[in-house]
């Protein structure tokens, strides 16, 4: 098991290098091979039944991608995953599944506009309270509108 983690860490460290030449690609290929051989111990010991893990599978394609596009220089795929959740999955859940692409684009546009409005209000001093962690910009703006309406009614 330790050899598996060592091989995976070696792959990760090689991929993070700023320059990757043919010698480095050979090292990467060897480390990937060792990782795939050593990870079988998890099946043999009953820790896992299979290895259908997307990020592990993506490692197989790194050699070709580095040859095509060069060293990734520490690129982190979590950034795109977070953006995918925020820009695709959440708007999909808000849609009624009838022509969802149009609804998703509209949702993203509105959320973006609400965020811009919030930043403007904070900058102008119109929004005193900072965002409560976990609340979306939509709820902050709705709360702001309610507070302003109440202030107008009381004055």
Residue 129 reports pLDDT greater than 70: no
Name the residue ranges covered by the structural domains of the chain: 2-69, 78-154
Question: What is this structure's pTM?
Answer: 0.50
Q: Are 25 and 11 in contact (CB under 8 A)?
A: no
The whole-number pLDDT of residue 61 equals 87
Instruction: At 89, list the tokens.
Output: 């999955």
The whole-number pLDDT of residue 10 equals 93
Tell which wins on pLDDT, 85 or 33: 33
Question: Please, what's the largest Cα pairwise distance for the chain?
Answer: 75
Q: Which residue, 32, 63, 61, 44, is CA-closest to 1?
A: 44
Percentage of the chain beyond pLDDT 70 is 76
Dihedral sign for Cα atoms in the order 31, 61, 68, 87: negative
Q: Which residue, 73, 83, 77, 82, is CA-closest to 57?
A: 77
Q: Over range 77-105, report the average pLDDT.
A: 85
């Amino acid at each position: 098991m330790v050899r598996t983690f060592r091989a995976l860490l070696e792959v990760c460290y090689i991929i993070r290098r700023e320059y990757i030449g043919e010698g480095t690609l050979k090292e990467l290929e060897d480390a990937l091979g060792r990782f795939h051989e050593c990870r079988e111990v998890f099946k043999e010991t009953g820790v896992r039944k299979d290895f259908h893990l997307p990020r592990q599978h993506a490692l197989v394609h790194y050699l070709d991608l580095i040859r095509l596009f060069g060293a990734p220089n520490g690129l982190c795929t979590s950034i795109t995953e977070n953006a995918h959740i925020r820009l695709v999955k959440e708007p999909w859940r808000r849609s009624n599944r009838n022509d969802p692409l149009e609804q998703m684009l509209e949702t993203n546009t509105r959320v973006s506009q609400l965020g811009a409005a919030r930043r403007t209000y904070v900058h102008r001093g119109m929004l005193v309270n900072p965002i409560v962690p976990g609340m979306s910009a939509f709820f902050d703006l709705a709360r702001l509108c309610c507070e302003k309406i109440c202030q107008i009614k009381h004055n």
